[in-house]
Amino acid sequence: MEQFLVDKTQDESRQGEAYAPTHAREAQYNRHFYIESYGCQMNFADSEVVASILQGEGFGATRNVEEADLIFINTCSIREKAEQTVRKRLTEFKKLKKNNKQLLIGVLGCMAERLKSKFLEEEKLVDIVVGPDAYRSLPSLVMEAAGGQKAVNVLLSREETYADIAPVRLDSNGVSAFVSIMRGCNNMCSFCVVPFTRGRERSRDWKSIIEECKDLFEKGYKEVTLLGQNVDSYYYTSTQPDAPVVTFANLLEKVAQISPNLLVRFSTSHPKDITDEVLYTMAKYENICNYIHLPVQSGSSRILQLMNRTYTREWYMAKVDRIRSIIPDCGISSDIIAGFCTEEESDHEDTLSIMRYSKYDFSYMFFYSERPGTLAARRYQDDVPEKTKKRRLQEIVALQNQLSLESNQKEIGKKYKVLIEGDSKKNEQEWKARTSHNKVVVFPKTNLSHKKGDFVTVQITECTQATLRGEIVLS
């Protein structure tokens, strides 16, 4: 298949998080790789596929960049700042070559795909460039690079889903895992680079997804998050005659049926694609968490049209109503972009008012960053001054902080059954968990018999805009 080839023609012409399996260095390997990941959860999930491929070649993971024979950085192109961070890291990694002449540095992921072999020419920072669909060719690329050649494979594939590769869980808490259910994106949101860096949308064989989830559950995991850029357009048709089509709602149901003790989450939902069937499935199974990440991007129908989001303000609001009517107690979060091309003060006001209407529990908020090659870059002027973008973003953030606080205050007194994910980051005397609505809750370790991976009932006692605080109670 094409993705196994090394691209000779090209050859001629978070946030970052370092990771390793729980035991920091695996003694059975004498060659080691170090991998650092940026960007969305899909990238983090991909790094686990990469780790599996490299382990198959006899490389063990290390957390210590100084002892690595291979350094990989899995990159994101979504905003310019994400790319700047990666460039800075690569300059730092290059310095390590002074003491280790054999060291190879590779760039993976979306920035590799976007810049292709330009990376090798312009930057001279890396030896290996591999796009998101070409990870199976890593072993041969590493060999090429070790032989002094520059190794590039940025071919995108229409089929690759890495379905048969069992990811090596890196830096996992042993309780929650991400499971990739599809790759790529067929939407053409005009601001977005993802369709160019990740290629066409394709859904992974549902059987391999169920097998992976079952295997995780058998290994003691208690929560899976199904991942895709647009999970609601998951659609699997088998090559076997008469095999039924599997939609996202069907898949969600199959995962939920593995065990009532396996929590199920998913991300991301596109407002145009989430169906009533998905909502009814969520309502039917208690172990499917009541939480939807439903990025709005803008509250102005005019801007939404320029963004090519294919819904209007009214359509989005009706979707929020529908969610609340089928799942009355559902957490909703959003992504919001401030200062998209031609955005006026009145459009910005529309964004603020749709936030109030939707009562988001939280949001990821950005100012618009033009990405080369996207529809918006080709068609529209990035004409909102930076100062205005930042001011509008600040107003959006301030409103979201207020909405998050209001939403959290409503939780006080309520009881939730939650999964202990591990220690609270700030205080080892406290556990960290998330409610069904994906709100972080911390609570004291009052009962010594409790451990990570246990379900406990917690009553909420206090909150800030970011965190709930509670105490363990009898259910």
Does 439 engage in binding with ligand F3S (CB under 6 A)? Answer: no
Instruction: Tell me the site size for ligand F3S, rule CB under 6 A.
Output: 13
Q: Over the Cα atoms of the chain, what is R_g? A: 23
Question: Residue 109 binds which entry of ligand SF4, ligand F3S, ligand SAH, none, with Cβ cut-offs from 5 to 8 Å by kind?
Answer: ligand F3S
- φ, ψ of residue 340 to 5 degrees: the values are -65, 160
Q: Shortest approach of ligand SAH to residue 294 CB, angstroms? A: 8
- Of 10, 18, 20, 39, the one binding ligand F3S (CB under 6 A) is 39
The residue among 187 and 305 lying less far from ligand SF4, judged by its C-beta, is 187
- Of 47, 62, 197, 436, the one binding ligand F3S (CB under 6 A) is 197
| 267 strand-pairing partners | 227
453 contacts: CB under 8 Å, gap ≥ 6: 174, 175, 220, 222, 419, 420
| 95 strand-pairing partners | none
Query: Would you give the DSSP letter of residue 204?
Result: P
Sites for ligand SAH among residues 238-277 (CB under 6 A): 268, 270
CA distance 469 to 162: 40
Does 267 engage in binding with ligand F3S (CB under 6 A)? Answer: no
CA distance 356 to 26: 50
| 292 strand-pairing partners | 332
Does 230 engage in binding with ligand SAH (CB under 6 A)? Answer: yes
Does 205 engage in binding with ligand SAH (CB under 6 A)? Answer: no
Q: Shortest approach of ligand F3S to residue 195 CB, angstroms? A: 10
Q: Shortest approach of ligand SAH to residue 192 CB, angstroms? A: 5
CA distance 300 to 305: 9
Sites for ligand F3S among residues 198-257 (CB under 6 A): 198
CA distance 288 to 214: 15
Q: Spell out, one character per residue from 345 to 374, where the chain touches ligand SAH: x when CB under 6 A holds, - when not.
A: ---------------------x-xx-x---
- Of 26, 335, 395, 423, the one binding ligand SAH (CB under 6 A) is 335
The residue among 185 and 441 lying less far from ligand SF4, judged by its C-beta, is 185
Question: Residue 195 binds which entry of ligand SF4, ligand F3S, ligand SAH, none, with Cβ cut-offs from 5 to 8 Å by kind?
Answer: ligand SF4
Residue 240 amino acid letter: Q
| Terminal Cα-to-Cα distance of the chain (whole angstroms) | 54
- Of 62, 77, 85, 404, the one binding ligand F3S (CB under 6 A) is 77
The residue among 74 and 300 lying less far from ligand F3S, judged by its C-beta, is 74
CA distance 39 to 389: 22
Q: Shortest approach of ligand SF4 to residue 201 CB, angstroms? A: 8
Q: Shortest approach of ligand F3S to residue 464 CB, angstroms? A: 28
Q: Shortest approach of ligand F3S to residue 416 CB, angstroms? A: 30
CA distance 35 to 64: 10
Question: Residue 271 binds which entry of ligand SF4, ligand F3S, ligand SAH, none, with Cβ cut-offs from 5 to 8 Å by kind?
Answer: none
Tokens found for residue 355? 């936030």
The residue among 289 and 296 lying less far from ligand SAH, judged by its C-beta, is 296
Q: What share of residues in the chain are helix, strand, coil (percent, to 5)?
A: 35, 25, 40
Contact 307, 351 (CB under 8 A): no
Exposure on the CB side of residue 353, measured as CA atoms within 13 A: 11
Tokens found for residue 310? 């294919």
- Of 153, 229, 358, 404, the one binding ligand SAH (CB under 6 A) is 229
Does 365 engage in binding with ligand F3S (CB under 6 A)? Answer: no
Does 78 engage in binding with ligand F3S (CB under 6 A)? Answer: yes
Return the range that interacts with ligand F3S (CB under 6 A); candidates 137-145, 193-201, 244-252, 322-330.
Answer: 193-201
- φ, ψ of residue 138 to 5 degrees: the values are -55, -45
Cis preceding linkage at 268, omega within 30:
yes
CA distance 447 to 393: 43
Contact set with ligand F3S (CB under 6 A)? 39-40, 42-43, 76-78, 109-110, 193-194, 197-198
Contact set with ligand SAH (CB under 6 A)? 78-79, 191-192, 194, 229-230, 268, 270, 295, 297, 335, 337, 366, 368-369, 371
